[in-house]
A and B are shown apart, each in its own frame.
Chain A
């Protein structure tokens, strides 16, 4: 009985909760600290994978080491207006693209051959579109359309079929996401083409 009385005191409850929280947080903080570098490395490899995918160079089932060495052998890293660019050849670049989708911002990479006006490929790093609908932008069926896609010589570069001059297909059932992706890709492509034409990347 005495024990129960002690338990029902506020000070005991608060003390108990504080102590338990400290123990749990302490343990988690230690584990987080221990695995931090590994997680950071995983994120880096994932990013390199996406850059390689946008350049259409990603090997199938490559190990982390293969991806890292392929990445560092292939690309020269440049900075332009605080944007990181990955140069494959003098006129071939992988550049970051981003914009707002239907639910949140979308980030990705696109590979561009500036001298011959065609795309190498497209990859998305992160998005929060509806799984199964807009989320399908990260599926091969959508992304593969951009591999070696020849672009018009001036904006708009990307047009959805069946509009005249259309060069890619949208995702049916996900008009919002499809339009958002086309719009920010066109904006970014225009920006990068202009910058390249001005000689900013040299």
Chain B
């Protein structure tokens, strides 16, 4: 139980994939103009990371070391295709909105990184939990960025109008530069907090 908590703290805060490891940046920039897209992307990533880590960990004793990367890519791509098929069948609109980014989950460094660094060396249930924790950390950062971008860029949250009629949308927030600004500011804030905490701990 204590280990689960430690893993979650690592994923959400201490070792957050975006804020601390600076991984998965492309998708964080690309899909964060709407909260709905960010949420679906995040859920997709949680699913793929968790199950890839589980599978890699399950077969880690039988996997020849020199072809482990190939094996990992194969496993990850199978799960990504699964997510892609699922979205196409049941959420066609979201599938169109996310476009190539669903397929590109496979290139998301977070999954490969965690498979290689964590799942190879840990038992299956812990690897699975780590996948969920890392995916959740990623999703939370995405949702934070999307919250600001959608609110300022469209005046809506999850497609629901929250700003008044007179609200003037900030077009820059919907465009790619808006994502860069937001991500930069967010990482800056998180780092400053972290450093302050460390100083206090000393």
Chain A residues within 8 Å of B, Cβ to Cβ:
7-8, 12-13, 16-17, 20-21, 24, 27-28, 31-32, 35, 38-39, 42, 45-46, 132
Q: Count residues of B near A (Cβ-Cβ below 8 Å).
A: 23
* Bound CA–CA A138/B72 (angstroms): 38
CB-based contact A7/B175 at 8 Å = no
B residues in contact with A27, CB < 8 Å? 78
CB distance from B71 to the nearest CB of A (A): 6
- Residue B85 at the A interface, CB < 8 A? yes
Complexed CA–CA distance, A35 and B82 (Å): 11
**Contact B89–A38 (Cβ < 8 Å):** yes
Summarize B's interface: helix, strand, loop or mixed. helix
**Which of B61-69, B109-117, B120-128, B162-170 touches A?**
B61-69
A interface majority secondary structure: helix
**Chain B neighbourhood of A32, CB < 8 A:** 85
Q: Does B176 contact A (CB under 8 A)?
A: yes
Query: Which chain B residue has the least Cβ–Cβ distance from A31?
Result: B85
Do B88 and A39 touch (CB < 8 A)?
A: yes
Closest to B59 in A: A20
Q: Whole-angstrom distance between the alpha carbons of A123 and B59 in the complex?
A: 49
| 4 interchain residue pairs of minimum CB distance | A35-B89, A24-B78, A42-B92, A7-B64
Contact yes or no, B85 A35, CB < 8 A: yes
